[in-house]
Amino acid sequence: MNLANPIAKGNTAEIYLNDDKVVKLFKDYLPDTESMNEAKKQKYAYSCGLPVPNVFEVTKIQNRQAIIMEYVKGDSIGNLLLNNLNEAEHYINICVNKQIKIHSICMNTDEIESMRERLECQIKSVQKSDGKQKGNILNKLHLIKFEPRLCHGDFHPFNLILTKEENVKIIDWVDASSGDIRAVVFRTYLLFA
């Protein structure tokens, strides 16, 4: 597969348009399971009836992990918001309604990784924290009661694509987990602040 210039770049991947499909090409330093994990989460969200691009294939391209998925032609709510501040309430309402729809999905904790496990791994991987501090944080984490709801994990206006037909698709499911919706709402609020 011959890929031209990326249409978007992120921390973990470049996004290409090829034959009217999106190719998400992951950076080579990531674990070998990265593309499969993200595709599994996105497929789960799709199976729940959420407006999510359909995943067609998980493969390797140029010796790198890749997900081939449906192309959603449109603009991000983030760009629309920045370019139309007088319409801010409208775009924020779209975001809130989509987040409520995601959080309405109750799930079994074995369908995708639990938020507790995800946070535990992230806490353990912090380099600038001593063992005692990490232990205290992990003890507090284990005291929190997590309700198994679908959480996007990186919900912000740039991960919502509005088509010309006024449909909104939710992209970038790599950080999704089964967990407490309060944590994701707080994170989203901080991203808006």
How do the domains of the chain map onto residue ranges? 8-70, 75-192
Residue owning tokens 């031209």: 4
Write down the pTM of the prediction: 0.88
Q: Which one is the CATH code of 8-70: 3.30.200.20, 3.40.50.2000, 3.40.350.10, 3.40.640.10?
A: 3.30.200.20
Residue range 100-122, pLDDT digits in tens:
999 999 987 678 888 888 888 88
From 3.40.50.720, 3.90.25.10, 3.80.10.10, 3.90.1200.10, which CATH number describes the 75-192 domain? Answer: 3.90.1200.10
Task: Give the chain's mean pLDDT.
Answer: 91
Within this chain, domains 8-70 and 75-192 share the same CATH topology: no
Note the pLDDT tens digit of each residue in 85-96. Answer: 999 999 999 999
Provide the pLDDT confidence category of residue 76 given band limits of 50, 70 and 90: very high
Q: Are 179 and 149 contacting, i.e. CB atoms less than 8 angstroms apart?
A: yes
